[in-house]
Chains A and B, each alone.
Chain A
Amino acid sequence: MCTSTVCNTKKQNLFNPPRRPHPPHLIPSSTSKPLRLGPGLRHLPPSDIIPTVAGQLITNPQKNSMWVEYNNNRYLPTPGDLILAQITRSGPDLYYCSLSPHTPLATLPHLSFESATKKTRPQLSPGSLVYARVVLANKHMDPEIECVSSSTGKSDGLGELKGGMVFDVSLQFARRLLMSKSREEGKVEVLELLGEEGLAFEIAVGRNGRVWVGGEDLKAVVVVGRALRGADEGGLGVEGQRKLVRGLVRGMK
């Protein structure tokens, strides 16, 4: 499970201390699809499913999947994740990018950009920022990322991000922002509220807990970043977010 766009999830208020086999009635049972285990769960053959982290068990009978929802601070790359990576150096045919501090660098081949050839490839200098997708995340190898969809050859919005600012948020908040129904399911409304206030900005959310905000108006960029960080650190509900955004926008004018 790498995307968090799951509809009609049934949730249990259940705390899972590691090593406590799940009672069978909580496991979704569908005969047509194989059971999919997401983060935080471990399968011990033949038939034990055991949580490995503390969190809330969430099951989705439609997709026949289950996972543990929890918050941590260390990003672990998973194939398909959209992330914000910073180029640290360039090798002979690939860039080395950092996804999170003190972890092995991810590789980004020079040719993984839209319509890139040996001669027309983007020249990225150390420190520049790219919005990319994780292609390969294997525990024995360094992760590999790409800025182009390998099936269509289109960039789909991925690539270098110029200007703007980067803000760090918690991994959980980044996941909430990336939900397709972030307003209903993630209970995060900051971006919509800022848009309603008339602010113009661009935004790219990386699952590695980084948010890039760009735009013409630097003031608006800072306000957006502060609103996101405030909503994340304060653990604000919808009402609290509304109040925060109103206060920040008023202070800006």
Chain B
Amino acid sequence: MTVTTAPEAALGVLPRADGSAKYSHAGYTVTASVNGPIEAQRRDEHPYEAHVDVIVRPAAGVGSTRERHLESILQSSLTQIILVKNFPRSLIQIVLQVEDTPENDYVNTKLVQASLNFAIMPALFQTAVLALLSAGVPMRATATATAVAIVPQDGTKTSVVDPSPRDAEIAQSVHVLAFTSHDELLLAESEGDFTVKEWDDVYETAKQVCCRPVPAKEGMEMVLDDEHTNGPDLRHFLRSTMEQKVASDLHWK
């Protein structure tokens, strides 16, 4: 039941925000707005660096402890890539509104209180990075994120990139990994039971999705590459999205 769609993104969808992005991938659609650097409230002020404030709003209902948990994970990893030392005493506010989540065909779900899980993390993270780029917030590096689930299937275990809700439900463990454009591991969160060997496999799979080298020349090589790799090429996607944005901004050059 995997929703196999290529990632899609639009930048600058909210005219009044400093930066915004709408991103949809694997059935999830998230819109983000970034404002900053703006004046921080007295209690958030830090004398030497900017405070990064992440707010996650679910598609239905109000956020609860789960969203606070995702916010804290996103906040700590985004603080790593934003050059927070450039803007002391200020605030960079990132609001992530979940618009759409894939439905689980096996369970009759009534969407009253959306319960977010790790499978949505890559979408949230990627949208936040795109919105930060759109806002022109100075960053150390860009980053790409993916989720990998280890699903038992006919007695063996297979790793599934971008798991569907069904996969996430029956999975033994779900992992979220993010890598910077430098191939450095930025974020690694896991839930469930897994062995070190399994984590290593997950790491390799995620690295392949997030850190595929940009092809020097498009053409035959790319076509061949696609056959023996799974998952979308996120880094290339991020790059081409930004190239489009820069080209339309600098149409007068």
Which A positions have Cβ atoms within 8 angstroms of B?
11, 15, 17-20, 40, 42, 52-56, 69-74, 76, 101-104, 139-140, 172, 176, 186-188, 235, 237
Contacts and interface: CB of A to CB of B under 8 A. Distances in A.
Contact of A72 (B83, B136, B141, B142): B136
Taking each of B18, B86, B238, B252, which has the highest tally of chain A beta carbons within 10 Å of its own beta carbon? B252
Contact of B136 (A11, A71, A139, A237): A71
Interface in B129-168: 133, 135-142
Contacts of A20: 181
25 contacts: A15-B239, A17-B239, A18-B139, A18-B181, A19-B142, A19-B182, A40-B138, A52-B140, A53-B133, A53-B137, A53-B138, A53-B139, A54-B245, A54-B246, A55-B246, A55-B249, A56-B246, A70-B136, A70-B250, A72-B135, A102-B38, A139-B86, A186-B252, A235-B251, A237-B251
A201 B140 CA distance: 45
Contact of A73 (B18, B83, B138): B18
Q: How large is the interface on B (under 10, 10 to 19, 20 to 34, 35 or more residues)?
A: 35 or more
B49 to A, nearest CB: 10
A95 to B, nearest CB: 18
Contacts of B139: 18-19, 52-53
Contacts of A139: 86-88
A72 B19 contact: yes
Interface string B79-95: 00001001111000000
B180 interface: yes
Contacts of B35: 74, 102
Contact of B138 (A52, A56, A186, A187): A52
Taking each of B87, B88, B136, B249, which has the highest tally of chain A beta carbons within 10 Å of its own beta carbon? B136
B180 A74 contact: no
A11 to B, nearest CB: 7
B243 interface: yes
Contact of A102 (B39, B181, B182): B39
A18 B182 CA distance: 10
Interface in B68-125: 83, 86-89
A56 B136 CA distance: 13
B36 interface: yes
Taking each of A53, A76, A101, which has the highest tally of chain B beta carbons within 10 Å of its own beta carbon? A53
A42 B253 contact: no
B41 to A, nearest CB: 11
B232 interface: no
B37 A74 contact: yes
A56 B37 CA distance: 22
9 closest Cβ contacts across the A-B interface? A72-B136, A19-B141, A52-B138, A102-B38, A187-B252, A71-B249, A73-B18, A54-B242, A74-B18
Interface in B16-41: 17-19, 35-39
Contacts of B242: 15, 17, 54
Taking each of B17, B36, B38, which has the highest tally of chain A beta carbons within 10 Å of its own beta carbon? B38
A70 B249 contact: yes
Nearest to A70: B136
Nearest to A75: B18
A140 B47 CA distance: 8
B19 A176 contact: no
A73 B19 contact: yes
B248 interface: yes
Contacts of A11: 253
Given A52-B83, A74-B18, A104 B39 contact: yes
Taking each of A103, A139, A140, A237, which has the highest tally of chain B beta carbons within 10 Å of its own beta carbon? A139
Contact of A19 (B39, B136, B140, B252): B140
Contact of A18 (B36, B37, B38, B140): B140
Contacts of B238: 17
B194 to A, nearest CB: 31
Contacts of A237: 251-252
Contacts of A103: 37-39
Contacts of A73: 17-19, 135-136
A141 to B, nearest CB: 10
Contacts of B141: 18-19
A104 B91 CA distance: 11
